[in-house]
Amino acid sequence: MKTVIYDLETQYDEGLDAAAAEIARGGLVVFPTETVYGIGANAADEAAVKRIFEVKGRPQDNPLIVHICDISQAFTAARSISPMAERLMRAFWPGPFTAVLKKSEAVSDTVSAGLDTVGVRLPSNAYARELIKRSGCMIAAPSANISGRPSPTRIAHAVEDMYGRVPVILDGGDALVGVESTVCDLTGDVPVVLRPGGITAEMIEKEAGAVKVARAVLNGVSDGERAASPGMKYKHYSPDANVTIVEADGNEPLAKALAMLYDKKTEAGGKTLVLCLDETAALLGKRDCACLGKNAEEAARRIFDELRRADEDGYDEVLFASTGLEGMGLAVMNRMIRAAGFNVIKA
């Protein structure tokens, strides 16, 4: 398939109109959001939505998020919205927050993968909202990666995975947040974080007075167990390199543990890379390091890019220094624990 890439900085109307026309005729479009790039289709077009699953190689039982450009559309997608749910939607929209609500008839079983709920999100990225507006429909969209690969946070990643598979790719530059939206179940009395993301559990707790975090966020889901968020049970975000998470109390013990493991892996012949915050990298001497920034928020922005780069640069082993679970740390660790296949070493 022929793919046209539009740079929205210089081809704003041309790109958005072409993309909106493609969506309207049942096609797929890769577009930027503040979290990661998405691959979208008209949420009401069954055949188009099915094609998203095919193009990504996505399991059929993993539901898609419906993207909207105005809060009123949430009332079309959902059967009922509690006052608490509406309060959180108003607090965090537009932004990296996906509200899981009881679905209405307007949302097909293909989008919701047979669940009676639907994830709805109003993105803050202005290009994304303008695309939804010009398309005149709600847009069902997962991240624009081939299933199992790290989510695309830069246009190069989206092109790498989707060129030749979709007619239109919109280039909106690097994603601001860098990890996907927070998926939050708002169907009960207390909001439950099913997938941590750009809106932290602390922020939700502050707004709602209480919050729960689903067990699957930091743990695996056993075969018999049904994940609250179906996406959680799949191995995700995995680079080709073997990933190990290293935890320790304090920066110096962390650096020491990383250095020891690095030297051991290197001696055994594995080309090894450490992914860590700047303060830890400063203690690792000449060892190969990718600095993730000053804090978990900066790490979130860079992590998927660094995982792709580790493969490109031919690393066999990646040692990831735990960012801790506070704030954006929870989202980063949720992704990395999966990338590591739950391989965690506590020093």
- Which helix (H) or strand (E) segment holds residue 263: the answer is helix 251-267
Secondary structure of residue 310 in the 3-state scheme = helix
Residue 280 within binding range of Mg ion, rule CB under 5 A: no
Choose from Mg ion, ligand TXA, none: what does 170 bind? Cβ within 5-8 Å by kind. none
Site string for ligand TXA, 59-78 (x = CB under 6 A): ---xxxx-------------
Residue 231 within binding range of ligand TXA, rule CB under 6 A: yes
As a whole number of angstroms, the distance between CA 9 and CA 171 comes to: 8
As a whole number of angstroms, the distance between CA 254 and CA 25 comes to: 53
- Closest approach of ligand TXA to the CB of residue 313, in Å: 25
Residue ranges in 303-342 that form contacts with ligand TXA under rule CB under 6 A = none
Residue 143 or 181: which CB sits closer to Mg ion?
143
As a whole number of angstroms, the distance between CA 256 and CA 331 comes to: 25
Among 45, 161, 180, 317, the residue binding ligand TXA under the rule CB under 6 A is 180
As a whole number of angstroms, the distance between CA 40 and CA 79 comes to: 23
Residue 142 within binding range of ligand TXA, rule CB under 6 A: yes
Residue 115 within binding range of ligand TXA, rule CB under 6 A: yes
The answer to whether residues 236 and 336 touch, using CB atoms and an 8 Å cutoff, is: no
Among 15, 27, 32, 38, the residue binding ligand TXA under the rule CB under 6 A is 38
Among 62, 143, 229, 238, the residue binding Mg ion under the rule CB under 5 A is 143
278: how many CB neighbours lie within 10 A of its CB? 14
Choose from Mg ion, ligand TXA, none: what does 115 bind? Cβ within 5-8 Å by kind. ligand TXA
As a whole number of angstroms, the distance between CA 65 and CA 36 comes to: 13
As a whole number of angstroms, the distance between CA 305 and CA 313 comes to: 12
Choose from ligand TXA, Mg ion, none: what does 100 bind? Cβ within 5-8 Å by kind. ligand TXA
- Total interface residues for ligand TXA by CB under 6 A: 28
Residue 152 within binding range of ligand TXA, rule CB under 6 A: no
- Total interface residues for Mg ion by CB under 5 A: 1
The answer to whether residues 135 and 20 touch, using CB atoms and an 8 Å cutoff, is: yes
- Report in angstroms the alpha-carbon separations of 262 from 40, 267, 284, 292, 306: 41, 8, 10, 18, 17
The answer to whether residues 272 and 258 touch, using CB atoms and an 8 Å cutoff, is: no
Residue 141 or 275: which CB sits closer to Mg ion?
141
Residue 181 within binding range of Mg ion, rule CB under 5 A: no
Among 99, 107, 141, 303, the residue binding ligand TXA under the rule CB under 6 A is 141
The answer to whether residues 35 and 175 touch, using CB atoms and an 8 Å cutoff, is: yes
Residue ranges in 85-104 that form contacts with ligand TXA under rule CB under 6 A = 96, 98, 100
CA nearest neighbour of 151 among 179, 184, 183? 179
Stretch that binds Mg ion, among 135-143, 212-220, 299-307, 314-322 (CB under 5 A): 135-143
Residue 109 or 263: which CB sits closer to ligand TXA?
109
The answer to whether residues 65 and 140 touch, using CB atoms and an 8 Å cutoff, is: yes
Residue 229 within binding range of ligand TXA, rule CB under 6 A: yes
**CA torsion, points 13, 19, 23, 28, in degrees to nearest 10?**
-170
List of residues contacting ligand TXA (CB under 6 A)? 33, 35-36, 38, 62-65, 96, 98, 100, 112, 115, 117-119, 121, 141-143, 180-181, 183, 194-195, 229-231
Residues that bind Mg ion (CB under 5 A): 143
